[in-house]
Amino acid sequence: MTSLQTRGKLYLVPNTLDFAVSADAAHADLQTVLPLQVIQIAARLTQWVAENAKTTRAFLKRVDSVVPLSQALQSLNIVELPRPQKGAKVAVRAPLDGLLAPALQGLNIGLISEAGLPAVADPGAALVEAAHRLGVLVMPLSGPSSLLMALSASGLNGQSFAFVGYLPVDAAQRTIKLRELEAMSRRHQQTQLMIETPYRNQALMAAMLSSLGANCQLSVSCGLTLQGGWTRTDSVALWKQRPTHLPNDIPAVFALLSV
């Protein structure tokens, strides 16, 4: 086994937020979203752990159009994170340790999500934990995070906030959860952030308008970094007066703050 000084690093490589949004997305200039240094590092990496190998190859093609890859795309080693078993929060530890074998042999590895920052609302967090345990240096790189961008654009409390992930699909359970989050937000003056599968955007919006109090502040950010992306923050009462239909094919981030 190599010493700590000669082990490779685990680079957390940010992806764009425009995956699968439109046919033209693959031709967008990466430098409008990612720093050149990030693109240069991505171009040098030959070992990758990905949430999705197909979207990673698409990302690397875009990288190659800005900075040529150090090796042909077909020769890069791209392995996917194991899918957690149904009901499990993280993948089992042993396979994750194996994914870090190249770093233990002195090679740098890139960890990439389908969109945004890896390991944030993303299964890559388990690999980062394994890297720390094995003594592999973790190197986060700058890039877009839809959660933090939505929070900063919302005007809601950025000093105290929580990301709660996906809400229950069942309508009754979702209503209960929303009211719990509203009560928690009021008690702690804490912004509550959540996401939804795009085709259920409108269903979540309708549930929020029917479940939350009229004075509760509700913010929606849709298509961040994309052409036509927007953020709107209003009280629930004003959202009801001026409803906005959400697209069913573009990711959105929802935030609430009870006042």
pLDDT tens profile 165-222: 999 999 999 999 999 999 999 999 999 999 999 999 999 999 999 999 999 999 999 9
Residues of the chain with CATH 3.40.1010.10: 4-140
Q: What mean pLDDT is reported for the chain?
A: 91
Superfamily of domain 146-257: Tetrapyrrole methylase, C-terminal domain (3.30.950.10)
Which CATH fold topology does 4-140 show? Cobalt-precorrin-4 Transmethylase; domain 1 (3.40.1010)
Predicted TM-score of the model (pTM): 0.88
Q: What is the pLDDT of residue 5?
A: 66
Quote the tokens at residue 38.
């990030």
Q: What angle do CA 177, 180, 185 make, to 5 degrees?
A: 125
Residues of the chain with CATH 3.30.950.10: 146-257
Distance CA 215, CA 212 (A): 8
pLDDT tens profile 117-155: 999 988 999 999 999 999 999 999 999 999 999 999 999
| 112: three-class secondary structure by DSSP | strand
Q: What percent of the chain has pLDDT over 90?
A: 83
Q: What is the pLDDT of residue 117?
A: 95
| DSSP conformation letters of 163-196 | EEEEPPSSHHHHHHHHHHHHHHHHHHT-EEEEE-
Residue 3: Cβ-neighbour burial (10 angstroms; 0-12, 13-18, 19+): exposed
How would you label 157-190 residue by residue, b for 16+ Cβ within 10 Å and e otherwise? beeebebeeebeeeeeebbebbeebbeebeeeeb
**φ, ψ (nearest 5 deg) of residue 224:** -60, 140
